[in-house]
Amino acid sequence: MNSLLNKLIIIGLIVCCSCNGSRKYFKAAEKLEKQGLINEAAQYYLESLQRKPTRLEARVKLKSVGQKYVSNLASDFFRNYNTQQLEASLQSFETLKDFYSKSALLDVVFGYPKTYDDDYLIAVETYCEKNHAVAANLVYKKKYNEAILFIGKVKKYNSSYKNIQQLDITSICEPLYQSAIFQLENKNYAGALSLLNKIKDKSDSYKDLKDLLELSIAQQTKSFMMFQPKANSDVSEKSIEEYLFSNFNQIALQKFNGVQVINNTPFQNATGNLDFNNNTNVDLIQAIRKATAADYFYTFDVTNKRENNSGLSKKSFTGFQEIKVRKNDTTIITEYKPFDYNLVKAQRAFSYDFNYKLINSNTNQIIASLSQNIKAQDAVEYQEFQKVFSGNNNLLYPYNPQQTAAAAQYNPRSWRGLFNVRTNLKSFDDLKNEAFNQTLTIFTGMSSKIK
């Protein structure tokens, strides 16, 4: 009952002091001291002095009550040490040293038998020896999960104690290793790889880890063969296909994770007219698969290449220039002088049809396909003066403000801007590159379908 009451008192004081300063902690410490809770009171006096090192009353109390607390901890250590309660003795002495060092920073020093420092080191050595023996025995019995607890106790005090590091590695890695072997035997290479990577995080030289990693990665690596398009009578389309084929290979090598690209050179002639939709070619397709061990075949072609250039389209219009004319010394009138200009439009486009198929060679099934028109285009729309103009564009209007009803007038800013916009179309080379980049992006995204 008293223990429960003490706990409730402490909790109440913690809530009371959590957001307050040195004086609140000091008052709380006094209450704890009156309740006979010396150990807790010492901690609160220390907190009070930490918050305000100039508080003399806290310093005096910490010196007297803190000494009692240190003496209690020293007695606990002595009793537990002599009864071989090693863990309890270590905990008591470490609490003592922590309180001692924090108080010393505030120039409050306590006394305790210094021979306990040597006894503490002996306790640590004995503690490590006992826990090491238990851990080693559990590892020998392959009770790895149980061993981890005792290994942690040793590492807390001496991470290089005897062969504790090796026991730690074995306890963590061996269960993972055995599970990985089981997954490999059952051809679950993804599961095995996940387990092996966990082992690698702990030790990259555990048993034959390197060989097993290579095996798991190799078994998950998909092999990919890309066929060059069949003979094309259109020279320009053939050049596009050659460009794409070269770049597809580079993308596959650099960006397709877990994919091995197989050179199709020995099969170029054989596949010139290969149609993956033709059932009569199944035997040939399977023969290529067996010869190359390719998991996926990729075939594509380019057709219907088009280049369109509309040429310039011009329409004539009349605008009005604001002009101020001085009639005499005191009168200036505003006039709107008409001028002729052209609205010019032009567009240019480059396009082709891109078709591809991704085939699972083991089943001869098309798992992805696309037929898409790839198009890059550009257009310009601008206005040009029919005669040389050197005035201020901000004084130009598409209507005569003096003759146009206010409701029909509008902000001419956009109209004026057409005298200063781009007038040159992108070149066909630029449009080709844009179209090629679209196609390369499509190919790059296909990597997600190779699983």
Residue 133 lies inside a defined structural domain of this protein: no
Residue at 122 is within a domain: no
Asked if residue 228 and residue 216 are part of one domain, the reply reads no
Residues 142 and 201 in one domain: yes
* Domain's final residue, options 199, 220, 241: 220
Q: How confident is the model at residue 288, as a pLDDT?
A: 79
Domain encompassing residue 144: 138-220
In a domain, 127, yes or no: no
Bridge partner residues of 335 (DSSP): 323
Whether 197 and 216 have beta carbons less than 8 Å apart is answered as no
d(CA 49, CA 56): 8
Q: Give how many domains the chain has, as a whole number.
A: 3
Question: Do residues 58 and 27 touch, judged by C-beta distance below 8 A?
Answer: no
Instruction: Decide which of 78, 113, 148 is a domain's last residue.
Output: 113
pLDDT tens digits along 347-404: 999 999 999 999 888 888 888 999 999 999 999 999 999 999 989 999 999 999 999 9
Q: 236 and 197: one domain?
A: no
Q: How large is the C-alpha radius of gyration of the chain? A: 43
Asked whether residue 336 carries a pLDDT value surpassing 60, the answer given is yes
Q: Is the dihedral of CA 241, 244, 249, 252 positive or negative?
A: negative
> Are residues 152 and 21 part of one domain?
no
Residues 159-179 have a mean pLDDT of 97
- 426 and 287 in one domain? yes
Across 191-195, 261-265, 396-400, least confident range: 261-265
Q: pLDDT confidence of 330, banded at 50, 70, 90?
A: confident
**Within-domain flag for 119:** no
In a domain, 132, yes or no: no
In a domain, 8, yes or no: yes
**235 and 208, same structural domain?**
no
Residue 21 sits in the same domain as residue 151? no
d(CA 126, CA 292): 64
**Structure tokens given for 313:** 């389209």
Cα 110 to Cα 250: distance, rounded to the nearest angstrom: 74
pLDDT by residue (tens digit) across 269-285? 544 455 555 555 667 77
Does 251 map to a domain? yes
CB atoms closer than 10 angstroms to residue 322: 17
| Structural domain contains residue 126 | no
Q: Looking at the structure, tell me whether residues 193 and 326 fall in a common domain.
A: no
- Kindly report the CATH number assigned to the domain that includes residue 161: 1.25.40
Examine the domain organization and report whether 201 and 294 are in the same domain.
no
d(C-alpha 174, C-alpha 203), whole Å: 11
Cα–Cα separations (whole angstroms), residue 56 to 22, 36, 108, 360, 423: 11, 22, 12, 84, 85
Question: Which letter, b or e, does each residue of 7-24 get, where b requires 16 or more Cβ atoms within 10 Å of its Cβ?
Answer: eebbeebeeebeeeebeb
Domain identity same for 323 and 425: yes
Tell me the pTM: 0.59
Please report, for residues 91, 146, 148, 151, the alpha-carbon distance to residue 131 in angstroms, rounded to integers and kept in the order given: 16, 12, 11, 7
Element spanning 243, H or E: helix 235-255
Return mean pLDDT, the chain.
90
Tens of pLDDT, residue by residue over 98-140, are: 999 999 999 999 999 999 999 999 999 999 999 999 999 999 9
Residues 263 and 341 in one domain: yes
* 168 in the same domain as 71: no
Domain stop point among 197, 220, 243: 220
Q: What pLDDT shows up at residue 364? A: 81
